[in-house]
Structure 1
Amino acid sequence: MSDKYQSFTQSAIGKVLVKNLGLPSPAKLERYAAGAPLVKGTVLVGGRGRLAESLGGLLGELDVTSTEAAGGGKLKGLVFDATGLTSSADLVALQEFFTPVMRSLETNPRVVVIGTPPEQLEGGERVAQRALEGFTRSLGKEIGKGGTVQLVYVAEGFEGSLLSTLAFLLSPKSAYVSGQVVRIGTKNASIAAEQVDPKKPLTGKVALVTGAARGIGEEIAKVLQRDGATVVGLDIPPAEDDLKKVTSDYITADITAEDAPAKIASYLQEKFGGVDIVVHNAGVTLDKKLANQKADRFGKVLEINITAPERITAELLEQKLVRPNGRIIGVSSIAGIAGNLGQTSYGASKAAVIGFVDSLAEELPDGITINAVAPGFIITQMTAAVPFATREVGQRLNAMSQGGLPVDVAETIAWYASPASTGVNGNVVRVCGQMMLGA
């Protein structure tokens, strides 16, 4: 579904009205195309801390051009090492680095600030590092031009695990991810990252994607396949024809059925001997205000959105079918963070996905990680049916003034899924264009 308002703002009369009336003016977002360079332009690096001297080398490994001096030219990205800021007075270094170059940014720029997890520090250092969250989230709401701003907390000893995260956050793959805080190496994380082909990082990996027949699930399957994975799609029997169009390896099952976990485990064991990536995407909304809610509908939402993923994961782990350095990825929602009218069941289930991540992140063996995405307003067939006024509010109530696409969720999942993302564990990243609701 196209964004008619965005198209209007690019017309001659639209540009005049936007300027004179102060209307939202959503920029056209760049998205990644297979085979394209990660960054089309130059990235300025700076700051002081334990990563400052290595940033240029890290970007070089990604074939990204970097510089330590602005030089007056246009810039596609900014990376600032703030790990050396040890007091509140040091925070002025942020203004000294960013202010002179903000007007030199190209369209769709990327900004990444790197810090140390505050919970691992004390005193003034903890104060300074916690301040970075307010800085980056505020900058994300003013950068404009389709730009994104992120904060990456890197625990000491995990500097070598930063590469896959930089590749994602500096590239068009993170087009609709902004104002987010990513933690590397803070929860039961493995230091040794696998070496991968940056163009096919999932080569040789087997991925299970539930709800894969259409919508976001279909896009997740396509992106994982693009990155080299063999995808096993799962959906309900009536969706089999659509599922066949997505992948030749598939399972038809009701994930809430008593025998579903065993059926899935048996298929993966017999055909592949295990699985590397498990994406719990299948979900349902049965919206109704709580005063009018029926127990069977409320329970069904919980059963599909969280109980089934718990049961399937438990079965795969018990049978040791998730291979070392494997990935478990949940799909939460902005409704699980900020809540939403008429979505008590959905909000509860999606908040439970976050709890699911928290509960397993410290317990998983063999370098297996668990993370979740929390989509905001994503343009799908489902949202196309939303009343026009409600849909417009949903699309504009974020820093980018537009809805996201299913591929935006899929790209975030592919970053989690990479064997190089070993240090990324226990994260919940919103794919919402930095929605104005929630944190």
Structure 2
Amino acid sequence: MLFNSVQGPSRLNDAVEKQHAYLTACLQAIEEKLGWGDSAQWTSADFQRLSDRIYESTKVVLSASTLKRVWGRVKHEGKPATSTLDTLVAFVGYENWRSFVMAQQQIPQSAVVAPSMDIKKKRLVLWALVVMALIAIGFVTFYRAGKEDMPAGTVAETIAVSSDDYAFSSEPMTRDIPNSVVFTYDASQAPIDSVFIQQSWDLVRQEQVSKDGHKHTSVYYEPGFYLAKLLVGQQVVKEHPLLIPSNGWLGTIDRMPRPIYLKDEEFLHSDRLGVAAEAIEASQIDLKPDPPVVKYFNVGNFEPLSVADFSFSAEVRNDYAAGNNACQFSQVMLITEGMPISLTLSTKGCVSELGLMGGGQSISGKNADLSAFGVDFSDWVTVGCRSVDGKLVYEVNGAEAYTLPLGTNPPRIVGMVFLFVGTGSVKAVRLHVDGESVFEAF
């Protein structure tokens, strides 16, 4: 059934209110499960931890930036994709968005707690824009967003495609960041007009393209390893790896919709990486009460190396403990061609919020002992990870802190990133494979 483009204002308002109420109920359920207090006070680190928790529970990645958009913390003119909604409600125990909506329809309206007026107004405007966009664009957008809610036997379930009928490739334009990528595709054999390019694992970065077109461009604001996909409907017909390299070290301050890029002289020193709090404040960013996340990237500047026989070490220090940054959350991540290998650090009292990733697994401090990753940042902290006898061994200050199975088909390491809530420093970066040095810095 086509979306009715001649609905009266009252029916439009009803639709907006209902969708707004369902999304609000979903977010409230997540907030109650987490028990982190008022989401209006959540920091960037909180959204990153929520991203990790969702992945741990559902094995689906929703980035921190995606979650901020859903919670209305950043401006975004669009509605969450159905797959995003499915993942959110799966986190609180529902099979999919449709089952969640059906459950909400059984709840008396008096039992629904009204959100604050500011949040309500923001989300009402968001859903109003969604409905207006559906009316303007018509069936294609409605099909994309609602196909999973269609009854059996509809087009969404009967598309038959062969990957041999499609072509898909990409080419980055530079080694600098931001970096534009030109996608070349051929989807002329698609049986429907709903053709999309998903530029990464982040479902928000999915854009509709012309079925009869051949070029599409996109901008990447951070380096990393991505898996680009060509979709017909929501069926992946072609995909390929996409490496967005950095030109040496890159320092950023996390901001939406685009990060702030640090000048080399602000963070890149002869003996270490590190940006002073004064330099951050000079960029018109307040460190109190909610400090930003500072990142240092190095991606695509050495030959990819296997995780099967490697060792990595670095010395790190979180340099900011003022304001609400008592936990001093910090993260060290090795970017791979699959799941990253990462460890998080904090002061000793905050280890419950920490997590590990590696070997195809995600470990939460909520149900594992990660106390070894609670540290004293008044001095440098030596962190490391190496593969030994089919295991990933994580180390803190020379002592074994945790082990995970290496897993089957170990991926290759292509880069690294260091993250600090507030600001932080890095030195003595060492990466070896088969006992030979592959990358060293400071």
Normalising to structure 1: TM-score of the pair? 0.28
Name the one with the larger helix percent: 1
Name the one with the larger strand percent: 2
Higher relative contact order (CA 8 A, sep 6+): 1
Normalising to structure 2: TM-score of the pair? 0.27
